A and B are shown apart, each in its own frame.
Chain A
């Protein structure tokens, strides 16, 4: 169905090709997963399928890409619209019309499909994707998962035989991601659609893939093959695969189910050594600092309303130095609002918020930033300059810090970042690092992060974990709102679960997270009822007996000391 023959892509002005010598065949009806670190060319590969590269983006493509017998050499993206459906990362940015029905019909209108056929296909697609309830809704009112499903529907109505999705779930919360992935599953199984998708959160999708395309980046050759084989040596892997590699399971399990069946022996072995879990876990820092210190921030029975709608109904929270608190809960539970209340972006209608001896909403912003800092969900909201260098210089000036201190922070978090690059042209990880550094320059003791892992690959996430733990060790406190259970398991000392504007659970990570399957990380699901949350903990508990494990322990150590530099380059789409 899709055939790449010796494909190389070089963008204008770039020294090296993004993709080099890619040979790839995807037969009809397969779900093909493209994995690789940021900047390895995933987006470029996907955009080659429907000719967006190079017709739309410019640059030079050598070799041939053929889809359903049509070569992208002489077919533009628009000429392939009835063969390839392309869904980008941000569904809202790709909507052309204002209503769900019109959006579904848009592609067919462009192709000149006759009205009765359009009408029928729109109805079919509404049913297929479960969108019937939404048919008359304006697109701007849809939730993330609904919008993504409408985006998929809007390309399906042209009846393509290939569906290409670029990180369809990276901006979604777990429930919405489930909806979208279930939809994709159905399309593959019921309609025999060929699906090609790129995704950072492998734990969500790798078990569904029929074929894996691994882009290692750094000019290494692209590997294509069955997932169980390729995952063994992939530079990015979900925790379940990491665990399998550590223990040396063969065949490598890709789903929690398979891993749990293989883990009977491991569970017995680990039961002898339960204290290792606490020694290597995030809670270790708490034990070192001790709970005696005064709280850095106190939230007491806070109520926040937007208009008449309450977002927080009397939530309370204490944050002590050395704490890394993870706020979890579904969308709209009040996580972001709690963070905003802590930094003074919203004023509580009743109750009290104190950080140190400040009331953030009542204090001058310039004093607040020295005590508490927030990295918002969209890091670019707080980046104003047109280059990394200028942004850092501005941050130094604002914080009256030594010139160069912000840049030093950026380098510590993200490695080498080109100074003349525009913040928007950085990769997601670098952008987050820059925003984090800008906020940290003012040296606040309390750091808040809202959904920091959106769009981050595993490497960037590991660096984030190291940075946040370093902050906690240095006596800062960190509060982060996140849906990412794996990150929370790695970094949080405490988990606070919010529901409907109130705190429903508050306790040490291991307790809260293992108590509910919704919030449990993969390792916990595999090794339950043991207290294990992360692969790192398991590695610490096992004696280094196999070469794989020795290699793994070395790698864990290396990551902790932060050997790896920044992301190779920015995300490839210009």
Chain B
């Protein structure tokens, strides 16, 4: 049982032994060199004020690359009906195989991204915070009428991503959906798609430009509204190709990008837009109302937990 090598310290970002004045002073009193783990990061964070996000799972170049590539495939998982070339391998007579192909592929992709972001280990504080916020989100999903289009857990995902950074936002988004599905016994083929979309919601929330005060709140509210709307639009896409509702709103293989886009737009407008718009507006409104105290609470927690 040897103690961990030093690099773990640097990763956890909480405690780095330093050789500063206190060492010398205790050395003078004759004790062993005894200064342990000072942490100026927290005070520095306080001095920085609330503007600087407390990035917990920072995206390194490698994880960013993996995330970008995987997101590309993820995007294809939603939007393939617009791009499927006639005669392609996925373009068979059934027409409904491609969605199942992606249902099978996406969990692997999510696993790869999350493993990559957490490579090198996540320290206990980050795991606990991640778990708790995902629990809050999952509880909100269980309480709120998630199926009817409302997605109250978006507040947690958006604000969590904003405060704790991109990598954390992505993992939080996917984990919230995952835990929510497990808690309510709602694991289904839609789950990988939801996990990806919610992960993006958290990711982009962490990538928004830096600003503060009312501007920040307005920006987040606007982002929440857009995210709520786009989330609905994307999620319809996974089951859209299954339907043969009527030729004018259905996915028609080989019909080309323009036709299918138009069909989908009509489909969206006539079916779920009535849910998606209120969802977007409510998410935006909720962020506007609860954003300030929630972000203050998250930042206070980050300070107390001494993340840097």
User: Which of A58, A63, A64, A386 is B15 in contact with, Cβ under 8 Å?
Assistant: A58
Taking CB atoms, residues of chain A closer than 8 Å to B296 are 386
Chain B residue at minimum C-beta to C-beta distance from A64: B34
Q: Which of the candidate stretches A67-75, A259-267, A375-383, A394-402 sits at the interface with the other chain?
A: A67-75
Q: In the bound complex, do residue A56 and residue B46 qualify as a contact, i.e. CB atoms below 8 Å apart?
A: no
Taking CB atoms, residues of chain A closer than 8 Å to B31 are 5-6, 63-64
CB distance from A240 to the nearest CB of B (A): 38
Q: Is A121 an interface residue (CB 8 A)?
A: no
Chain A residue at minimum C-beta to C-beta distance from B37: A54
Q: Is B293 an interface residue (CB 8 A)?
A: yes
Residues from 264 to 308 in B contacting A, C-beta threshold 8 Å: 293, 296-297, 300, 304, 306
In Å, the complex CA distance between A574 and B37 comes to: 16
Q: Is A62 an interface residue (CB 8 A)?
A: yes
Q: Is B35 an interface residue (CB 8 A)?
A: yes
Known: A55-B36, A73-B17, A574-B306. Is A12-B42 also a contact (CB below 8 A)?
yes
Q: Is A111 an interface residue (CB 8 A)?
A: yes
Chain A residue at minimum C-beta to C-beta distance from B30: A6
Q: In the bound complex, do residue A58 and residue B4 qualify as a contact, i.e. CB atoms below 8 Å apart?
A: no
User: Which of B4, B22, B43 is A76 in contact with, Cβ under 8 Å?
Assistant: B4
In Å, the complex CA distance between A61 and B22 comes to: 9
Chain B residue at minimum C-beta to C-beta distance from A385: B293
In Å, the complex CA distance between A111 and B124 comes to: 15
In Å, the complex CA distance between A68 and B108 comes to: 46
CB distance from B38 to the nearest CB of A (A): 5
Q: Is B85 an interface residue (CB 8 A)?
A: no
Question: What 1/0 flags go to A31-73 for Cβ under 8 Å of B?
Answer: 0000000000000000000000011111111111000000111
Q: In the bound complex, do residue B304 and residue A63 qualify as a contact, i.e. CB atoms below 8 Å apart?
A: no
Q: In the bound complex, do residue A62 and residue B35 qualify as a contact, i.e. CB atoms below 8 Å apart?
A: yes
Taking CB atoms, residues of chain A closer than 8 Å to B184 are none
Q: Is B1 an interface residue (CB 8 A)?
A: yes
Known: A12-B39, A62-B25, A574-B304. Is A76-B17 also a contact (CB below 8 A)?
no
Taking CB atoms, residues of chain A closer than 8 Å to B36 are 54-55, 60-61, 72-73
Q: In the bound complex, do residue A64 and residue B32 qualify as a contact, i.e. CB atoms below 8 Å apart?
A: yes
Q: Is A422 an interface residue (CB 8 A)?
A: yes
Q: In the bound complex, do residue A74 and residue B3 qualify as a contact, i.e. CB atoms below 8 Å apart?
A: yes
Q: In the bound complex, do residue B35 and residue A58 qualify as a contact, i.e. CB atoms below 8 Å apart?
A: no
Residue of A6, A12, A78, A79 most packed against chain B (CB within 10 A):
A12
Q: In the bound complex, do residue A73 and residue B3 qualify as a contact, i.e. CB atoms below 8 Å apart?
A: no
CB distance from B183 to the nearest CB of A (A): 12
Taking CB atoms, residues of chain A closer than 8 Å to B41 are 58
A-B contact count (CB 8 A): 85
User: Which of A62, A76, A422 is B26 in contact with, Cβ under 8 Å?
Assistant: A62
Chain A residue at minimum C-beta to C-beta distance from B43: A12
Q: In the bound complex, do residue A76 and residue B3 qualify as a contact, i.e. CB atoms below 8 Å apart?
A: yes
In Å, the complex CA distance between A60 and B300 comes to: 20
In Å, the complex CA distance between A405 and B25 comes to: 49
Chain A residue at minimum C-beta to C-beta distance from B300: A422
Chain A residue at minimum C-beta to C-beta distance from B33: A73
Q: In the bound complex, do residue B1 and residue A60 qualify as a contact, i.e. CB atoms below 8 Å apart?
A: no
Q: In the bound complex, do residue B1 and residue A13 qualify as a contact, i.e. CB atoms below 8 Å apart?
A: no
Question: What 1/0 flags go to A5-22 for Cβ under 8 Å of B?
Answer: 110000011000000000
Chain A residue at minimum C-beta to C-beta distance from B22: A62
Q: In the bound complex, do residue B34 and residue A54 qualify as a contact, i.e. CB atoms below 8 Å apart?
A: no
Q: Is B40 an interface residue (CB 8 A)?
A: yes
Chain A residue at minimum C-beta to C-beta distance from B125: A56
In Å, the complex CA distance between A64 and B34 comes to: 6
Q: In the bound complex, do residue B306 and residue A56 qualify as a contact, i.e. CB atoms below 8 Å apart?
A: yes
Chain B residue at minimum C-beta to C-beta distance from A573: B304
Q: Is B14 an interface residue (CB 8 A)?
A: yes
Residues from 82 to 134 in B contacting A, C-beta threshold 8 Å: 124-125
Question: What 1/0 flags go to A80-116 for Cβ under 8 Å of B?
Answer: 0010000000000000000000000000000100000
CB distance from B126 to the nearest CB of A (A): 13
Chain A positions near chain B (C-beta within 8 angstroms):
5-6, 12-13, 54-64, 71-76, 78-79, 82, 111, 386, 422, 574
Chain B positions near chain A (C-beta within 8 angstroms):
1, 3-4, 14-15, 17, 22, 25-26, 29, 31-43, 46, 124-125, 293, 296-297, 300, 304, 306
Q: 16 A-B pairs, CB-CB below 8 angstroms?
A: A12-B42, A12-B43, A54-B15, A55-B37, A56-B306, A60-B35, A60-B36, A61-B36, A62-B22, A62-B25, A64-B31, A64-B34, A76-B4, A79-B3, A82-B1, A386-B297
- A5-B32, A13-B43, A63-B26 given; 11 more Cβ-contact pairs under 8 Å: A6-B26, A13-B46, A54-B36, A56-B15, A59-B39, A60-B37, A61-B36, A62-B22, A62-B25, A76-B3, A574-B304
Give the 3 A-B CB pairs with smallest separation, nearest first. A58-B39, A58-B306, A54-B37
